[in-house]
């Protein structure tokens, strides 16, 4: 146990721990609604756009969050439009945007510095990536996500379960959907630094699916998804430090382990 605590005497670990503990539950909360409304692909698309945006920031020598936040937020609205428009084959359109964003990112990086460890960090995350200002921003933005989720919980349930009914009762479905997309964009940008752009979407999708294996009520799934996401992050972070494994990937594998475990428990019931 002393070993476990001594890990956190490093300031970069403290920053990663704080940001992760805030971002992991936020990602899980947003994930419940995204997964149930079949918008999970948007999370995936956004993380790839985030990769492109971070590459750009790196090449320009600009602060990563200042460049990537607006770009990813814009992309969130674009992807939402694409996936609502069934005539355009939403899924295919998102795949195109994803691939293009990655291609742009790779080309920008190779033009500026050549492929380096930086691009590896962008793709698969780095525990060292968080700066002091990232932490401050993360705290505020995570607080915003949590607050929105608590304040609008009932409306989020209503539009997730039955959009038509919500509309007839005067709920502004479009506004709330855009709000969710906005928060998802923010969460992805924040989480991407630790998890990497290839792996961050799992933080959104895994907890919701895991919780759905054993819980049958929306509240149960929401609370358990947030909890299991937090636990997966903590366990993953500790294991990655202890055994010198890549942090993002380790966290994803812990999520996978919980998913399999809950699938078995759910199946036996």
Partner 1 sequence: MLLSCNNLTVSYDTVAIQDITFTAEKGDFICIVGENGSGKTTLIKALLGLLPAKNGTVTVKDGTKIGYVPQKLSVSHDFPASAEEIVRSGIITKRPFLSKAEKEKARHIMTLLEIDSIRRKSFSALSGGQAQRVLLARALCASEEFLVLDEPVTGLDPKATRDLYALLKKINKEKGTTVLMVSHDIRTSMHLATKILHIDKSVQFFGEPEHYICSECGQRFMGGAKHD
Q: Is 85 one of the binding residues for partner 1 (CB under 8 A)? A: no
Tokens of 100: 């293009």
Q: Does residue 242 belong to the site contacting partner 1 (CB under 8 A)?
A: no
> CA 234, 238, 239 angle in degrees (round to 5)?
115
Interface pick for partner 1 out of 115, 143, 151, 264 (rule CB under 8 A): 151
> Which one of residues 96, 128, 167, 231 is an interface residue with partner 1 (CB under 8 A)?
167
Q: Which residue, 118 or 163, has its beta carbon nearer to partner 1? A: 163
Among 220, 242, 264, 265, binds partner 1 (CB under 8 A): 220
Task: By CB under 8 A, tell whether 124 contacts partner 1.
Answer: no
In angstroms, how far is the first alpha carbon of the chain from the final one? 35
- Indicate which single residue of 144, 153, 179, 223 sits in contact with partner 1 (rule: CB under 8 A): 153
Name the minimum Å distance from CB 169 to partner 1.
Answer: 5
Which CB atom, from 77 or from 161, has the smaller least distance to partner 1?
161
Number of residues forming the site for partner 1 (CB under 8 A): 26
Rounded to an integer, what distance in angstroms lies between the CA atom of residue 246 and that of residue 127? 9
Among residues 58, 50, 57, 80, the alpha carbon closest in space to that of 201 is found at: 50
Residue selected from 9, 86, 117, 154 as contacting partner 1 according to rule CB under 8 A: 154
Q: Does 169 bind partner 1 (CB under 8 A)?
A: yes
Asked if 225 and 28 count as a contact pair (C-beta separation under 8 A), the reply is yes
Nearer to partner 1 (CB atom), residue 1 or residue 150: 150
The pair of three-digit structure tokens given for residue 213, joined into one six-digit string: 């294996």
- Which candidate, 66, 61, 64, 76, places its Cα nearest to that of 30? 76
158 binds partner 1 per the rule CB under 8 A = yes
Closest CA to 153 of 214, 213, 226: 226
Q: Are 40 and 204 in contact (CB under 8 A)?
A: yes
Residues that bind partner 1 (CB under 8 A): 36, 150-154, 157-158, 161-162, 164-165, 167-171, 211-212, 215-221
């Amino acid at each position: 146990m002393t070993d476990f605590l001594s890990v956190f005497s490093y300031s970069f670990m403290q920053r990663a721990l704080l940001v992760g503990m805030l971002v992991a539950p936020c990602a899980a909360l947003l994930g419940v609604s995204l997964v149930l409304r079949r918008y999970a692909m948007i999370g995936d698309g956004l993380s790839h756009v985030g990769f492109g945006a971070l590459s750009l920031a790196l090449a320009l020598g600009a602060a990563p969050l200042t460049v990537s936040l607006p770009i990813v937020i814009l992309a969130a609205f674009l992807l939402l439009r694409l996936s609502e428009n069934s005539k355009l084959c939403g899924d295919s359109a998102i795949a195109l945007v994803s691939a293009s964003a990655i291609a742009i990112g790779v080309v920008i990086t190779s033009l500026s510095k050549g492929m380096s460890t930086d691009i590896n960090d962008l793709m698969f995350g780095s525990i060292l990536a968080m700066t002091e200002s990232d932490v401050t921003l993360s705290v505020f933005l995570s607080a915003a996500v949590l607050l929105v989720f608590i304040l609008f919980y009932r409306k989020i349930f209503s539009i997730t379960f039955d959009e038509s009914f919500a509309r007839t009762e005067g709920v502004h479905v479009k506004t709330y959907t855009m709000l969710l997309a906005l928060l998802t964009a923010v969460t992805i940008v924040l989480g991407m630094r630790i998890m990497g752009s290839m792996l961050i979407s799992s933080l959104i999708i895994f907890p919701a699916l895991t919780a759905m294996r054993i819980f049958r009520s929306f509240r149960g799934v929401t609370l358990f998804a947030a909890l299991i996401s937090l636990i997966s992050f903590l366990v993953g972070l500790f294991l990655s430090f202890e055994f010198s494994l890549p942090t993002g990937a380790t966290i994803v594998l812990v999520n996978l382990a919980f998913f399999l475990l809950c699938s078995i428990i759910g199946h036996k019931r």
